[in-house]
Amino acid sequence: MVAHQLAVKGAGDDGGVTVVDRLDHPIVLAPLSGGPSTPELAAAVATAGGFGFLAAGYLTVDAVRERMNLLRELSDRPFGINLFVPGGPADPAVYAPYVELLHAEARAAGLPVGEPRYDDDGWEAKLDLVTAEPPAIVSFTFGCPDSSVIQRVRQAGAEAWVTVTSPEEARHAARAGADGLVLQGGEAGGHRGSFDNRPELPTLGVLALLQLTADLGVPRMAAGGIATGAGVAAVLAAGATAAALGTAFLRCPEAGTSAPHRDALSSGRPTRLTQSFSGRLARGIVNEFMDRHDGHAVTAYPEIHYVTAPTRAWAREAGDPAWINLWAGQAYPLSRAEPAREVAERMIAELATARG
């Protein structure tokens, strides 16, 4: 139960020291919203000397609390919670034709399908939770919270980190008082954490992003296509405080990854960015659903997410990868079906070799 106490300090200054600097190894488990995130996975990475995040996205606040409690039972190491920052609802005129198509297709196949709806992913309740029982880091995705929110998190004793995908977003988050930045390169699997969800925004590689934000003086974690200790060494050499890895842990037994998703992760098929599943760009292994819909899918998050969620849940159960969002980063062929501790320890050994 001492985890959050480690984080009580004044970070966020130029070059400020964060809980990430005090890790045994600068390896961070990315949040992995949407199923793969589990307390067991976060605990295993923390036990190996890294840092684990729990995803709060898509869960009820009670489920998040339960997971935090379980993680605190499994490990006394510091950990982080990732929250989705709500955007606004999309215009129904924008998404209606795509929804109609998805409905028709699912019904023709005899599969469940949902209705478009907007919600804020329980923003206020989750903020209340993470400030009442603060983890070491609260990280934010899909936007930069107001300075007041960042201050509230810090006053509760946690660091506030913001996920960014461009130098402009990085500057915005630094000005808002973020203790640190998660730089997400275009290589990353899953959703782009950009502040707005226009698909035409530039997609910078993680190494370009690191160099273009070197002057900010804010601690940075690098994410996107990092799958080996050599990859970790690379982002550290480019100035990152730590590397955040998600896909590298998706095949671990501790992860909540579905069986067909695990299978796809050993397929070797290409990945690409798609907004077909959720109405927001995310990187996944190309499948039939993406091939059918990438040409006309629209930007409307989370409305489209709720339309496809029942179909995807059915397909995960049924073991049918053709209807599933098979999130994966560009380096996913290097992921292995090994216990998380082994993945982390191999990474740590490779990192030591790469650093000489």
**70 contacts a copy of itself (rule: CB under 8 A):** no
CB closer to a copy of itself out of 6 and 212: 212
Q: Which of 94, 237, 259, 352 binds a copy of itself (CB under 8 A)?
A: 237
Per CB under 8 A, which region of 13-21, 73-81, 149-157, 207-215 contacts a copy of itself?
207-215
CA 207 to mean position of chain CA atoms: 18
Q: Is 233 in the site for a copy of itself (CB under 8 A)?
A: yes
Question: 10 Å Cβ neighbour count for 235?
Answer: 27
Q: Judged by CB under 8 A, does residue 225 bind a copy of itself?
A: yes
> Using CB under 8 A, which of the segments 20-28, 191-199, 228-236, 310-318 binds a copy of itself?
228-236
- Piece in contact with a copy of itself (CB under 8 A), picked from 85-93, 147-155, 182-190, 306-314: 182-190
Contact between residue 29 and residue 35 where contact means Cβ atoms under 8 Å apart: no
CB of 238 to a copy of itself, least distance (A): 4
Q: How far apart are CA 224 and CA 30, in angstroms?
A: 10
Find out whether 196 and 87 touch, Cβ atoms under 8 Å.
yes
State both tokens at 165: 């995908």
Given the structure tokens 């488990």, which residue do they identify? 29
Among 1, 13, 150, 9, CA closest to 78: 1
Q: Pick from 211, 292, 310, 341: which binds a copy of itself (CB under 8 A)?
A: 211
Q: Which is nearer to a copy of itself, 172 or 272 (CB)?
A: 272
Q: In terms of CB distance, is 47 or 211 closer to a copy of itself?
A: 211
Q: How far is the CB of 167 from a copy of itself (least distance, A)?
A: 8
Write each residue from 291 to 330 as x if it is in contact with a copy of itself (CB under 8 A), else as -, in one continuous string: --------------------------------------xx
Q: Which one of residues 212, 320, 336, 339 is an interface residue with a copy of itself (CB under 8 A)? A: 212
Q: How far is the CB of 331 from a copy of itself (least distance, A)?
A: 5
Which ranges constitute the DSSP H helices of 182-302?
Answer: 206-212, 229-237, 259-264, 288-293
**List 234, 315, 347, 348, residue binding a copy of itself (CB under 8 A):** 234
Window of 4-12, 70-78, 101-109, 265-273 that interacts with a copy of itself by CB under 8 A: 265-273
Q: What is the full DSSP assignment across 201-224?
A: S----HHHHHHHTGGG-S-EEEES
- Segment 117-124 long-range contacts (CB within 8 Å, at least 24 positions apart): 117/302, 117/303, 117/306, 118/88, 118/89, 118/90, 118/302, 118/303, 119/86, 119/302, 120/86, 121/56, 121/57, 121/58, 121/83, 121/84, 121/86, 121/302, 122/60, 122/61, 123/83, 123/84, 123/85, 123/86
The answer to whether the beta carbons of residues 114 and 308 sit under 8 Å apart is: yes
User: How many positions of this chain bind a copy of itself (CB under 8 A)?
Assistant: 38
Q: CB 228 → a copy of itself: shortest distance, Å?
A: 5
Bridge partners of 162? 140, 181
Residue 207 as a binder of a copy of itself (CB under 8 A): the answer is yes
- Which of 6, 230, 313, 322 is the binder for a copy of itself (CB under 8 A)? 230
Is the distance from CB of 154 to CB of 197 less than 8 angstroms?
no
Considering only residues 141, 258, 271, 276, which one is a binding residue for a copy of itself as defined by CB under 8 A? 271
Please identify, using beta-carbon distances, which residue of 106 and 204 lies nearer to a copy of itself.
Answer: 204
What are the strands of the beta sheet with 190-191, ordered from one edge? Answer: 190-191, 282-285, 271-274
Q: Exposed, middle or buried, 108 (CB in 10 Å: 0-12/13-18/19+)?
A: exposed
Positions touching a copy of itself (CB under 8 A) are 167, 185-187, 202, 204-208, 210-212, 214, 224-228, 230-231, 233-239, 270-272, 329-331, 333-334, 354-355
